[in-house]
Amino acid sequence: MKILFWGTPGFALPPLRALIGEAFDVVGVVTQPDKAVGRSRSTLEPPLVKRMALEEGIPVFQPDRPKGDEFVAQISALAPDLSVVVAYGHILSQQIIDLPRLGTVNIHASLLPKLRGAGPIQASILHGDAETGVTIMRMVKALDAGPSILQVRTPIPDDETFGELQMRLAEMGALALIEALALLSIGKAVETPQTDADATYAPKIDRTMTRVNWASDARAVARIIRAFDPRPGAFTQAKQTDVKLFGARVTSRTGAPGEILAIDDGGMTVACADGAVQIANVQPAGKKRIAPIEWLRGRGIAVGERLS
């Protein structure tokens, strides 16, 4: 089976041929244009998936938008049997979705129809869900609404961060994808339509979602910090300056919401409306990520001060 791979995965993956499986032939990769980086924005950094593809000798396509006669002709010439989409970042037209002989499948990091949308991993932590998973689904024009081909479930530990869960789901998704491709290749895939009435949504992350509200209970605050660790980072303000927070554990200490109750080798304990959280690391604006005790020693903060 010839596979056309679409994506810009921001996490480490094995080489593409190993990801897809030795029985399948990756004939091309479509990804985002190289990103300008550095102060002068003069250096172009290729997406990880592009570097992986070039190492494997796989052709790479980087259109600004996945449309136009020239682009369609280029990927049509590859004669793919199936397209596989992983976090590509653009909506595909029906023409593109239907181009391969077997259509297009997508890997989504939730148990669809729950948490359709751009931020399912963060949302699962924010909501305090006991479990999440990966869905391999057939892509349709509507957002994450295609029939499910395969689902894999996993529990969410109370202390797991977004970064840790994302990595686990990436590994699970790679294995689930290989299984789904095998089923599709032999005509044994069972496609189960989603029930739209059961659908929930996970919106794209914006800055307002990442601000900590100390008037919430400690479990809710801990979930906010975990959901945006390591990026973009939940934040609060100390002396009217933004500070990002990483690593959170609920404790039974009490105090006025936002009050710093302790800073020691274990972290920084901050009171919430009910209970408190112990924070492992902080990142004041314009500075590197450090332990709270280093922040204390640098006189950036002190016990008894209030975060807002």
The one-digit pLDDT tens for each residue of the chain (308 residues) are 999 999 875 444 556 666 666 678 999 999 989 988 877 778 888 888 888 888 889 999 999 999 999 999 999 999 999 999 988 888 899 999 999 999 999 999 999 999 999 999 999 999 999 999 999 999 998 999 999 999 999 999 999 999 999 989 988 988 899 899 999 999 999 999 999 999 999 999 999 999 999 999 999 999 999 999 999 999 999 999 999 999 999 999 999 999 999 999 999 999 999 999 999 999 999 999 999 999 999 999 999 999 99
Domain containing residue 216: 207-297
- Residue 305 included in any domain: no
- At a CB cut-off of 8 Å and minimum separation 6, what does 171 contact? none
Residue 303 included in any domain: no
Same domain? 174 vs 229: no
What CATH number should be reported for the domain holding residue 225? 3.10.25.10
13 domain residue, yes or no = yes
Give the number of domains in the chain.
2
Last residue of a domain, one of 141, 174, 202: 202
89, 192: one domain: yes
16 and 91 share one domain:
yes
In a domain, 255, yes or no: yes
With respect to residue 276, please indicate whether it lies within any of the assigned structural domains. Answer: yes
pLDDT for res 159: 93
Long-range contacts of 140-145 (CB under 8 A, 24+ apart): 140/97, 141/94, 141/97, 143/116, 143/117, 144/106, 144/108, 144/112, 144/113, 144/116, 144/117, 145/113, 145/116, 145/194, 145/196, 145/199
Query: Is 166 found in the same domain as 138?
Result: yes
Q: What angle do CA 172, 177, 178 make, to 5 degrees?
A: 105
Residue 308 falls inside a structural domain: no
Where helices occur in 212-290 by DSSP H, the ranges are 218-227
| 69 and 155 housed in the same domain | yes
Task: State the pLDDT at residue 15.
Answer: 60
Among 186, 202, 218, where does a domain finish?
202
Which contiguous run of DSSP H or E holds residue 235? strand 234-238
The pTM assigned to this predicted structure is 0.91
In a shared domain, residues 136 and 10:
yes
Residue 47 sits in the same domain as residue 183: yes
pLDDT of residue 11: 40
Same domain, 246 and 135: no
142 falls within a domain: yes
Whether 46 and 149 map to the same domain: the answer is yes
CATH code: domain of residue 96: 3.40.50.170
Residues 53 and 189 in one domain: yes
- Give CA 257 to chain center in angstroms: 30
Give pLDDT, residue 303.
97
Q: Strand 82-86 relative to strand 104-108: parallel, antiparallel, unpaired?
A: parallel
Per-residue pLDDT tens over the stretch 246-257: 999 999 999 999
DSSP single-letter state for residue 172: H
Q: Which of 150, 182, 202 is the last residue of a domain?
A: 202
- For the chain, how many residues are written? 308
Distance between CA 81 and CA 93 in Å, rounded? 17
Q: Does residue 120 lie within any of the structural domains?
A: yes
**Do both 59 and 150 map to the same domain?**
yes
Task: Please give the backbone phi and psi of residue 53, each rounded to the nearest 5 degrees, phi first.
Answer: -65, -45
- Indicate if 286 and 260 belong to the same structural domain: yes
Residue 222: what pLDDT? 98
Q: Which residues of 26-52 are buried (b: 16+ CB within 10 A; e: fewer)?
A: bbbbbbbeeeeeeeeeeeeebbbbbeb
